[in-house]
């Protein structure tokens, strides 16, 4: 069962790697779909917790993938999921980085850049929506989500402070 699971992780995350337009966070909905809905490896709430854990740790956002792999199949799961998520896109970047500079100022290059922006925005908002539904089980939780979004948008306070405050509100038993 374990090897099968690892193969499944490798397959799912290599596909995610190649469709992660605009970065790791944009594939959250798809990751959620695969991990929670298709394979039933964990509940939506557990997925949201792993995401929060990865956000609270230093390093690239993509580490949520390591945690998901670890949760599903231990250390080897973490390694396989991380390698699968980074491998294909890294190879592609390596290959394309050599020619990209040559097309500076090309019309198609800026069209590709501008055209992907709305897709990325839609994916980020969809990810935010789905994670919110998974994470928030009370009115106070929804209020924390809304307040965090508003504060991040309007001030330059470091998100880690907001995590700390939200954690304290949780600890007080209000969420």
Partner 1 sequence: MSEALTARAPAPSELFLRFTQVALSGFGGVMPFARRMLVEERRWLSAEEFTDALSLCQVLPGPNIVNLAVCVGARYHGVRGALAAFAGLMTAPFFIVLTLGALYTQYGHLPAVSALFRGVSAAAAGLIVAMGLKMAASRRLRSAMALFAVVTFFGIALMRLPLVVLLFAVAPLSVAAAFWRAK
Site residues (CB under 8 A) for partner 1, limited to 21-60: 21-25, 27-30, 33, 37, 45, 48-60
168 sits near partner 1 (criterion: CB under 8 A): yes
How far is 80 from 10, CA to CA, in rounded Å?
6
Report whether 154 contacts 56 (CB < 8 A).
Answer: no
Q: Tell me which of 8, 39, 42, 145 binds partner 1, using CB under 8 A.
A: 145
Q: Which is nearer to partner 1, 5 or 62 (CB)?
A: 62
Q: Tell me which of 1, 3, 113, 156 binds partner 1, using CB under 8 A.
A: 113
112 sits near partner 1 (criterion: CB under 8 A): yes
Q: Judged by CB under 8 A, how many residues of this single chain contact partner 1?
A: 110
The three-point CA angle 75-77-83 to 5° equals: 105
Q: Tell me which of 3, 4, 156, 171 binds partner 1, using CB under 8 A.
A: 171
CB of 100 to partner 1, least distance (A): 4
How far is 47 from 39, CA to CA, in rounded Å?
13
94 sits near partner 1 (criterion: CB under 8 A): yes
Q: Tell me which of 62, 73, 80, 84 binds partner 1, using CB under 8 A.
A: 62
Report whether 81 contacts 9 (CB < 8 A).
Answer: yes
CA-based end-to-end distance of the chain: 37
Q: Tell me which of 3, 40, 104, 156 binds partner 1, using CB under 8 A.
A: 104
Q: How many CA atoms lie within 13 A of 14 on its CB side?
A: 12
How far is 137 from 133, CA to CA, in rounded Å?
8
CB of 117 to partner 1, least distance (A): 5
Judge residue 21's burial from the number of C-beta atoms within 10 Å of its C-beta, 0-12 exposed, 13-18 middle, 19 or more buried. exposed
Site for partner 1 in 74-93 (CB under 8 A): 75, 78, 82, 85-86, 88-90, 92-93
């Amino acid at each position: 069962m374990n090897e099968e699971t690892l193969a499944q992780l490798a397959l799912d995350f290599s596909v995610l790697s190649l469709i992660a337009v605009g970065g790791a966070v944009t594939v959250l909905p798809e990751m959620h779909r695969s991990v929670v809905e298709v394979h039933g490896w964990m509940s939506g709430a557990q997925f949201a917790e792993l995401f929060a854990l990865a956000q609270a740790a230093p390093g690239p956002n993509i580490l949520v993938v390591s945690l998901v792999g670890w949760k599903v199949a231990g250390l080897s799961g973490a390694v396989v999921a991380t390698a699968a998520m980074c491998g294909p896109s890294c190879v592609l970047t390596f290959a394309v980085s050599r020619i990209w500079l040559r097309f500076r100022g090309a019309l198609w290059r800026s069209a590709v850049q501008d055209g992907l922006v709305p897709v990325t925005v839609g994916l980020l908002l969809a990810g935010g929506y789905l994670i919110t539904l998974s994470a928030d089980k009370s009115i106070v939780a929804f209020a924390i989500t809304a307040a965090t979004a508003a504060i991040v948008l309007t001030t330059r306070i470091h998100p880690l402070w907001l995590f700390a405050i939200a954690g304290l509100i949780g600890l007080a038993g209000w969420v």
